[in-house]
């Protein structure tokens, strides 16, 4: 994994030329179970001990334990809130032609006063009869029908005769709400994930007594034979390294089922992908209630959205919040240039919810709850990974234990090196190589620590995103030319791209 790191000891001549960053308003982006910290600008929070993000992390998720700035206004995107609809107003119509005809009138016989009185009395009696029937029989029927059209069961509690007329009392019987039905359907498929990582407290240091750090998250049962979908950042703190699926010595990942909370199942890591923030676990159990998957491509703004997960840990397991789809294809840009294209919802998503389900009105999973933006001036900004994207990554992880056919370069980029630094040092603007992974494509091509990558396959690379976008146009085995600045000259190096794989 190519990784961004902020390391000020490696390049002193560059760091001396830097200015301190300006202070800004603090907005935070939470990823599930991380510890919140404040940084200038908006930040992503989660639980990884790593300080870097690999440069091959295209359009992926943030590593746990880091603070990331987001650019722009994440509450806005391709979808606009509100908007004014315009249309054609109804104007005055053309009046129909009026014909005046001269007709010879026939003199009619006049009606006597007695006849008029009789007709008036009969008309009054008939009108009263019609009104009585309408109030007693027709109106209650229409009222009941109107309530029934809303899908609410009703019953008649009685008819009363008051000073204002006859009133039929209608009571709405106890009913099941859509959210209640969704929770009953999907709730059994949402599990709790508990991560235990050995740490050491200052108090116990002299006694060499370790204590365990515990983190929590959520997951979705996707197969009845024990496969569980979650976020990579939920489990990443327990990993031995970014390029490994192995656990730290003494660490463990356990799964708690909602219908058997007293038993913790040991979880096997099938595969994980930090670039899309997807991970797949497996427990030794069968006959599990797999969640029904929806189609995230059909999600529309304004639709019902229900979030199910475990905010705050197992004490609040199976918590349900409801809202709407606030937007689709929302772009969240991390400070390292990585991008997410996510579903936005105002259904509450809190630490511990990560890896849980965002569900539509049919009880189908349409997203994986991942990020919450928290700031003093915004509220209700939660985001989920579209389930279509998550399923595609999950299938590859299950079948191959890694994301197949993803090109790999093998360099670690120092994201603290900026355009301003390059201008002050009078070197080309580009990406400063902090490290080169052994035996990778970059290593074999002769890329060195301290090189500045200025072009990839003939395209300028002044940002991480530009490098990743160009690299991901290729497949493993493709040959590309990478231009680097070294010791005052530009070198063109032939690189045969590798395939990114995790080490089991």
User: What DSSP line would sit under 25-59, residue for residue?
Assistant: -EEEEEETTPPP---SEEEEE------EEETT-TT
* pLDDT tens digits, 461-472: 998 889 999 999
Number of domains in the chain: 4
Q: Which of these is catalytic: 218, 233, 296, 396?
A: 233
Residues 314 and 332 in one domain: yes
Question: Does 4 fall in a domain?
Answer: no
Question: Does 475 fall in a domain?
Answer: yes
- What whole-number percentage of the chain has pLDDT above 70? 62
Residues 410, 448 contacting (CB under 8 angstroms): no
Q: What is the pLDDT of residue 199?
A: 74
Q: What is the DSSP string of 147-180?
A: HHHTT--EEEEEEEEETTEEEEEEEEPP---HHH
Q: What is the pLDDT of residue 6?
A: 44
CB atoms inside a 10 Å sphere around CB 99: 5
Question: Does 151 fall in a domain?
Answer: yes
Q: If you search the block for the tokens 């056919």, which residue do you land on? A: 405
* pLDDT tens digits, 26-71: 444 555 454 333 433 444 444 333 434 444 433 333 333 333 344 3
Question: Does 313 fall in a domain?
Answer: yes
pLDDT surpasses 50 at 147: no
pTM over 0.75: no
Tell me how far the alpha carbon of residue 164 is from its chain's centroid.
55
What's the rounded mean pLDDT across residues 145-163? 49
Question: Does 247 fall in a domain?
Answer: yes
Q: What is the pLDDT of residue 339?
A: 82
Residues 273 and 206 in one domain: yes
Q: What is the CATH number of the domain that holds 335?
A: 2.40.10.10
User: In degrees, to the nearest 5, what angle opens at C-alpha 310 toward C-alphas 307 and 313?
Assistant: 160
Q: What is the pLDDT of residue 134?
A: 55
Q: Which of these is catalytic: 2, 56, 273, 277?
A: 277
Residues 467, 461 contacting (CB under 8 angstroms): yes
What's the rounded mean pLDDT across residues 260-265? 93
The band of 102, judged by pLDDT with boundaries at 50, 70 and 90, is: very low
Q: What is the pLDDT of residue 100?
A: 33
Q: If you search the block for the tokens 């599930």, which residue do you land on? A: 32
Between residues 165 and 275, the one the model is more confident about:
275
Q: What is the CATH number of the domain that holds 495?
A: 2.30.42.10
- What whole-number percentage of the chain has pLDDT above 90? 53
Residue 354 falls in the annotated catalytic set: yes
Q: What is the pLDDT of residue 176?
A: 66
pLDDT surpasses 50 at 94: no
What's the rounded mean pLDDT across residues 386-401? 97
Residues 205 and 157 in one domain: no
What's the rounded mean pLDDT across residues 348-376? 92
Residues 158 and 214 in one domain: no
Question: Does 426 fall in a domain?
Answer: yes
Residues 436 and 450 in one domain: yes
Q: What is the pLDDT of residue 101?
A: 31
Q: Which of these is catalytic: 42, 47, 55, 354?
A: 354
What's the rounded mean pLDDT across residues 117-140? 60
Residues 378 and 462 in one domain: no
pLDDT surpasses 90 at 360: yes
Residue 277 falls in the annotated catalytic set: yes
Query: Which residue segment(s) compose the domain that 155 sits in?
Result: 132-175
The band of 142, judged by pLDDT with boundaries at 50, 70 and 90, is: very low
Q: How high does pLDDT run on average in the chain?
A: 76
* pLDDT tens digits, 4-25: 444 444 444 444 444 454 444 4
Residues 395 and 409 in one domain: no
Q: What is the pLDDT of residue 280?
A: 98
Question: Does 124 fall in a domain?
Answer: no
Q: What is the pLDDT of residue 116?
A: 56
When mean pLDDT is compared across 72-86, 189-203, 213-227, 366-380, the lowest value belongs to: 72-86
Between residues 106 and 439, the one the model is more confident about:
439
Question: Does 84 fall in a domain?
Answer: no
What's the rounded mean pLDDT across residues 275-284? 96
């Amino acid at each position: 994994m190519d990784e961004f790191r902020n390391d000020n000891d490696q390049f002193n001549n560059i760091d001396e030329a830097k200015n301190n960053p300006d202070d800004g308003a603090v907005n935070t982006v939470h990823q599930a179970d991380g510890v919140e910290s404040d940084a200038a600008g908006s930040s992503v929070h989660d639980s990884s001990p790593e300080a870097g993000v690999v440069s091959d992390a295209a359009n992926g998720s943030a590593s746990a334990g880091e603070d990331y700035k987001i650019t722009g206004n994440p509450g806005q995107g391709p979808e606009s809130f509100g908007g004014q609809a315009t249309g054609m107003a109804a104007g005055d119509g053309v009046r129909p032609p009026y014909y005046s005809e001269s007709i010879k009138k026939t003199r009619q016989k006049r009606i006597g006063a007695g006849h008029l009185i009789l007709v008036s009395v009969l008309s009054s009696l008939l009108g009263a009869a019609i009104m009585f029937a309408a109030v007693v029989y027709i109106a209650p029927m229409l009222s009941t029908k109107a309530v029934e059209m809303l899908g609410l069961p009703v019953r008649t509690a009685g008819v009363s005769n008051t000073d204002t007329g006859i009133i039929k009392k209608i009571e709405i019987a106890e009913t099941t709400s859509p959210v209640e039905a969704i929770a009953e359907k999907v709730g059994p498929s949402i599990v709790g994930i508990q991560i235990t990582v050995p740490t050491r407290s200052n108090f116990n240091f002299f006694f060499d007594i370790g204590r365990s750090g515990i983190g929590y998250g959520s997951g979705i049962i996707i197969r009845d034979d024990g496969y569980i979908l979650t976020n990579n950042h939920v489990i990443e703190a327990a990993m031995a390294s970014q390029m490994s699926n192995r656990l730290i010595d003494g660490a463990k990942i356990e799964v708690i089922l909602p219908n058997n909370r007293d038993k913790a199942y040991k979880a096997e890591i099938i595969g994980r992908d930090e670039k899309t923030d997807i991970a797949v676990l497996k427990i030794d159990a069968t006959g599990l209630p797999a969640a029904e998957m929806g189609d995230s491509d059909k999600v529309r703004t304004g639709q019902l959205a229900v979030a199910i997960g475990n905010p705050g840990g197992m004490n609040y397991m199976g918590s349900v919040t409801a809202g709407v789809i606030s937007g689709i294809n929302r772009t969240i840009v991390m400070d390292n240039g990585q991008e997410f294209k996510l579903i936005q919802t105002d259904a509450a998503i809190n630490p511990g919810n990560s890896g849980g389900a965002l569900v539509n009105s049919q009880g189908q999973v349409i997203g994986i709850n991942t990020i919450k933006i928290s700031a003093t001036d915004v509220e209700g900004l939660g985001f989920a990974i579209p389930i279509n994207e998550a399923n595609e990554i999950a299938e590859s992880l299950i079948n191959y234990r890694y994301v197949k056919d993803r090109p790999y370069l093998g360099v670690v980029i120092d994201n603290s090196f900026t355009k301003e630094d390059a201008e002050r040092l009078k070197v080309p603007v580009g990406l400063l190589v902090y490290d080169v992974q052994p035996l990778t494509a970059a290593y074999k091509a002769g890329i060195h620590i301290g090189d500045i990558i200025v072009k990839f396959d003939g395209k300028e690379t002044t940002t991480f995103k530009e490098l990743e976008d160009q690299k991901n146009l290729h497949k493993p085995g493709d040959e590309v030319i990478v231009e680097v600045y070294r010791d005052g000259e530009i070198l063109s190096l032939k690189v045969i791209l590798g395939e990114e794989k995790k080490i089991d």
